[in-house]
Amino acid sequence: MQKVLICDPDDLFRCNLRSVLELKGLCIQEASRPGEAVKYILKERFDAIVFNLQSNDINGTQIFSVIKTIDYKLPVIVVTDNNEPLSSVSSIIHESFRLFQKPVDRNEIEEAILEAVRVKANDK
């Protein structure tokens, strides 16, 4: 079964996304903080990650770099809570799979995650 990690401080966002993706047959792991997400990535293999760049406790772009160092081919779908161009540039520089700004269209992010999982499966 394919596994997706959702890292976002918003409990409702994670819960809603989890519900939709589990209906699609994916196994979901949740993290509310980037440091927690890194611990999961070090212990488990994921097929994709949804990652919110905004974090109160750590620099999201630094954690993004750490994630890509751990698994360079891991598709990372970046979610951002603001419209700052820097967020877009940072995620592109760090090779995100896709970038979304909140509020996120549920169908669009679902499609992106399913595509990311397919891409990861083809890289094996």
Compute the mean pLDDT over every residue in the chain, rounded to the nearest whole number. 86
Confidence grade of residue 68 (pLDDT, cut at 50, 70, 90): confident
pLDDT per residue as tens digits for the range 23-33:
999 999 999 98
Residues 103-113: pLDDT tens digits? Answer: 899 999 999 99
- pLDDT of residue 98 exceeding 80: yes
Joined together, the tokens standing for residue 53 give 């760049």
Domains and CATH numbers, the chain: 3-122 (3.40.50.2300)
Q: Which long-range contacts (CB under 8 A, 24 or more apart) does 79-86 make?
A: 79/8, 79/13, 79/50, 79/51, 79/52, 79/53, 79/104, 79/109, 80/52, 80/53, 80/54, 81/52, 81/54, 82/54
